[in-house]
Structure 1
Amino acid sequence: MVSDDDVIAWYNLRFNKPGLFSKKRWPVTIDTSLSTGKYVWASETGADIMNEYFDTFRVERANFDFSKYWPPETFILYALLTCGGNDDEPLPLTLRMLAKSAREGKWLYD
């Protein structure tokens, strides 16, 4: 069975590399969000993380909606022409969500 510590260890090993200048890793707990908060990943990296997660932990991705966590960004010109537009706010995608879904073998949150 996949534990919370298994998911945190995988994340730290694969994606939480020490900073170039600080040589420190971001602080990570089971409630760390990859899509909101202080340490947010760009959507391209978020896609890489989630693809590897589904493969590594053999989780069915059928119900996973990437755009809930990394909504499409509005282009600057479009935002200016439409008086700012309303970008959707991303939902938090936490390591706890990854761990719970890994234990079930399927995505539980969409």
Structure 2
Amino acid sequence: MVSDTEILAFFRGELSRQVNRKLQTVPLELETLLQDYAPADELPYVISDYSNKYGVDVSALDMRNYFPWENLPLTTRLFKGRNFRASVIANRKPLTVKMFAESARAGRWLYD
């Protein structure tokens, strides 16, 4: 059985480390929102490695639920304004390492 700490160690090893304004490393925890921690273009590669290593079927994982801003047309992103962007980000689903740990134990993606 896969533990939370094993999955957390995997993600800590795969994702780029984030630093704050004081140049201190921000630790990745089980409940950290991955949307705020990792770049959207890095996560698909990490998720693919996770799927291969732990044998988890992630075909049901729809990244548009977790990164709605990335999927909007460029003109919409440019001309709708900050309030529109804030509302889109506020309505996104959370994506955490804990979700991946629970899915690893089940053998398939449990969310969406």
Which bracket does the TM-score occupy, shorter chain normalised? 0.7 to 0.9
* Counterparts of 2:73 and 2:18, CA distance in 1: 31
Kept in 1, the 8 Å contact 2:31–2:97? The answer is: yes
The answer for unaligned runs of 5 or more in structure 1 is none
**Aligned 1:1-110 pairs, distance under 5 A:** 1-17=1-17, 22=23, 24-36=24-36, 39=37, 41-71=38-68, 72-75=71-74, 77-78=75-76, 79-80=78-79, 83-84=80-81, 86-87=84-85, 88-89=88-89, 90-110=92-112
Root-mean-square deviation (Å): 2.4
Q: Percent same amino acid at aligned positions?
A: 27
Residue 69 (structure 1) shift:
0.9
The offset of 1:91, in angstroms, is 1.6
TM-score (norm 2): 0.74
| More helix, by proportion | 2
Q: 1:35 touches 1:91 (CA, 8 Å); kept in 2?
A: no
* Partner Cα distance (2:72, 2:50) in 1: 24
4+ aligned runs moved over 3 Å, structure 1: 16-19, 83-88
**1:101 CA displacement:** 0.2
The number of aligned residues is: 102
The amino acid across from 2:49 in the alignment is E
- Partner secondary structure for residue 29 of structure 1: coil
Aligned-partner Cα distance in 2 for 1:18–1:94? 15
TM-score with structure 1 length normalisation? 0.76
TM-aligned CA deviation for residue 66 of structure 1: 1.2
- Give the Cα separation in 2 of the matches to 1:70 and 1:18: 18
Long gaps (5+) in structure 2: none
